[in-house]
Structure 1
Amino acid sequence: MTLSVDQLAEARVALDAPLYADVAGDIDVSFEFFPPKTEKMEETLWRSIATLAPLAPRFVSVTYGAGGSTRERTHATVARIARDTAIPAAAHLTCVEATREEIDSVAQEYWAAGVRHIVALRGDPPVQGARYAAHPGGYENAAALVAGLRRLHPFEISVAAYPECHPDSGDATVDLDNLKRKIDAGAGRAITQFFFEPETFFRFRDAAAKAGIAAEIVPGIMPVSNFAAVQRMSAMCGTDVPAWMGRLFEGLDDLPDARQLVAATLTAELCRKLYAGGVKQFHFYTLNRAELSYAICHLLGLRARFATKVEAA
């Protein structure tokens, strides 16, 4: 078999390139956790934070359940991160099933605990599948919540963005208009829902810029440790799961270690392609599992910058 000149040139490029081209750690990362429900889950959470802290994340955020179902646990977790670690802590705050006064009170408690960063969200209805309705006397949406937080204190405020359109939005234009209202109300950053192909983010970023949105847009990255679970989450939030991804995870249901290896490689490659398109900030949805996110960051060239120790409660 004789190779053409073009094929020879292509082969030379492939041979000269390293087996894995990392991005030399030229990125910033942040991590998202959920508040623990049990003592064992709390130990797992703090081990995860201790594992990821040496990567010097820009911040770590803690989620907040619908209707305040995790309000106290979220507050305790965020307050402890702010108190016992050097990592900037961000608290999620939603509009669901609370008056403005109640939400303002929670925000005041965060400020008193030293928390300066809020992830302001409309939130989902407490009953899955129900239609969202603003609480009487509450903030009607995330833009109103952002404006309310701005009146209280000079919080750093992040909001959510949806590259594939929020399920409740009529279309992408309506969705972008909503994002712009949140930014105009005082948010300084948008963190996206997870997605699985770089072009999805690039198209959204271009559309946001065309709509006059100049704030930082950070891609939300979901490492796929459990493909079936990610399929369920994707169906709820309108995220497309490519057919090729199903093929990659096929036959790995009973091989968790193999799934982790595939997930780390796949997610690192997604981040590398995003980096090639100018992205240098990434927000990882950890699901409170540190090793996978740490492996992905390692593949991207990030290394521990210091040692840390966070004791379990």
Structure 2
Amino acid sequence: MSSTRQFSFEFFPTKTDAGHEKLMQTAAHLATYNPNYFSCTYGAGGSTRDRTIDTVKHLNDVIKVSTAPHLSCVGDTKADLRQLLTMYKNSGINRLVALRGDLPSGMGMASGELRYANELVEFVRKETDDHFTIAVAAYPEMHPQARNFEEDLRNFATKVKAGANIAITQYFFNADCYFYFVERVRKLGIEIPIVPGIMPITNYTRLARFSDACGAEMPRWVRKQLEAYGDDTKSIKAFGEQVISEMCERLLQGGAPGLHFYTLNQAEPSLAIWENLKLPR
């Protein structure tokens, strides 16, 4: 694996034993591509905490790929977080993705002693010094709850300066927004690697709904082509693979320090892009 670029795959914890078994088979397959690490999400308000912990330990210890659990401050006390950090540290986990976290339906403003990701990063550094490589989220098209783009840039800079080592972006479909975001935050003194988050296109309806909710703008020409395919899953996947592969090629040629694939617990869509790009194994 190239030392100058980082490639990683993200999973979510499953709800059933059968789902977990399938996820581990997917992860074992992806591990043969020698990614730098895996990451594992954490449900709204910590709703999947136990399953996240179990999944992270299995990926790290059995699949043998360094795994970064998502850590959220929504709904957790400092004591809760301290306990989690100690457990992860004692389990040989040395990476984290530090997030404010999604607010569970009806929660309103964040609850818990820490309200924002920069406070969580500060807390992790205070509690564990430099044990963890900390990743934070970046939003090239602006966080959907930010008041404006300038404020969002400042908030991003604040959480990076709190002690983050790397940033992973929300997925996007327009390379220009990534390059512009990087250009702007570099002017704010941010020098850490900002890795593009990549979402393969396999299902139009679900992806369009999710993209609208999280503020990832799908170009009109892409939407219209996907709409035209209707229920033709094969054509949707082929077109999506082409669009995302071409975007990833442009990102890497433009200096992106790697790619972080949102796998949705599937190997093939991400690997199709990997193979198109002729990435190292």
Alignment TM class, shorter chain as reference: over 0.9
Identify the residue that residue 147 of structure 1 maps to in structure 2: 122
Identify the residue that residue 67 of structure 1 maps to in structure 2: 45
Identify the residue that residue 201 of structure 2 maps to in structure 1: 224
Letter in 2 for 1:70: T
In structure 2, do the counterparts of structure 1 residues 62 and 260 end up closer, same or farther at CA, with 3 Å as the change threshold?
Answer: same
> Paired residue for 2:178, among 189, 201, 205?
201
Is structure 2 residue 237 aligned with structure 1 residue 260?
Answer: yes
Deviation at residue 258 of structure 1 after TM alignment? 2.6
> Paired residue for 1:85, among 44, 51, 63?
63
The answer (yes or no) to whether the contact 1:219–1:282 under 8 Å persists in 2 is yes
> Paired residue for 1:238, among 208, 211, 215?
215
Identify the residue that residue 173 of structure 1 maps to in structure 2: 150
| Matched pairs, number | 277
Deviations 1:66-124 (A, max 9, x none): 12210000000001111112311100010111111111111211111111101000011
Identify the residue that residue 20 of structure 2 maps to in structure 1: 42
Is structure 2 residue 95 aligned with structure 1 residue 117?
Answer: yes
The answer (yes or no) to whether the contact 2:194–2:257 under 8 Å persists in 1 is no
Query: Equivalent residues in 2 for 1:87-102 (5 A)?
Result: 87-102=65-80
Identify the residue that residue 133 of structure 1 maps to in structure 2: 110
How far apart, CA to CA, are the structure 2 residues paired with 1:132 and 1:297? 39
How far apart, CA to CA, are the structure 2 residues paired with 1:159 and 1:70? 19
For structure 1, list consecutive stretches of 5 or more residues without a partner in the other structure: 1-23, 306-313
Letter in 1 for 2:82: D
For structure 2, list consecutive stretches of 5 or more residues without a partner in the other structure: none
How far apart, CA to CA, are the structure 1 residues paired with 2:236 and 2:184? 34
Deviation at residue 133 of structure 1 after TM alignment? 2.4
The normalised TM-score by structure 1 is: 0.84
The answer (yes or no) to whether the contact 1:157–1:188 under 8 Å persists in 2 is yes
Letter in 1 for 2:94: R
The answer (yes or no) to whether the contact 1:55–1:302 under 8 Å persists in 2 is no
Describe the SS at the equivalent of 2:169: strand
How far apart, CA to CA, are the structure 2 residues paired with 1:113 and 1:125? 28
Is structure 2 residue 11 aligned with structure 1 residue 33?
Answer: yes
Deviation at residue 27 of structure 1 after TM alignment? 5.0
Larger radius of gyration: 1
Deviation at residue 230 of structure 1 after TM alignment? 1.4
The answer (yes or no) to whether the contact 1:194–1:220 under 8 Å persists in 2 is yes
C-alpha RMSD over aligned residues: 1.7
Deviation at residue 131 of structure 1 after TM alignment? 3.4
Deviation at residue 43 of structure 1 after TM alignment? 2.4
In structure 2, do the counterparts of structure 1 residues 214 and 280 end up closer, same or farther at CA, with 3 Å as the change threshold?
Answer: closer
The answer (yes or no) to whether the contact 2:13–2:55 under 8 Å persists in 1 is yes
The answer (yes or no) to whether the contact 1:221–1:283 under 8 Å persists in 2 is yes
Counting aligned pairs with the same residue, the percent is: 40
Deviation at residue 175 of structure 1 after TM alignment? 0.8
Deviations 1:194-248 (A, max 9, x none): 1101101111111111122111111111111111111111111112111111122
How far apart, CA to CA, are the structure 2 residues paired with 1:216 and 1:142? 18
Structure showing greater relative contact order (alpha-carbon pairs closer than 8 Å, 6 or more residues apart):
1
Deviation at residue 31 of structure 1 after TM alignment? 0.6
Identify the residue that residue 187 of structure 1 maps to in structure 2: 164
Identify the residue that residue 13 of structure 1 maps to in structure 2: none
Describe the SS at the equivalent of 2:229: coil
Describe the SS at the equivalent of 1:250: helix
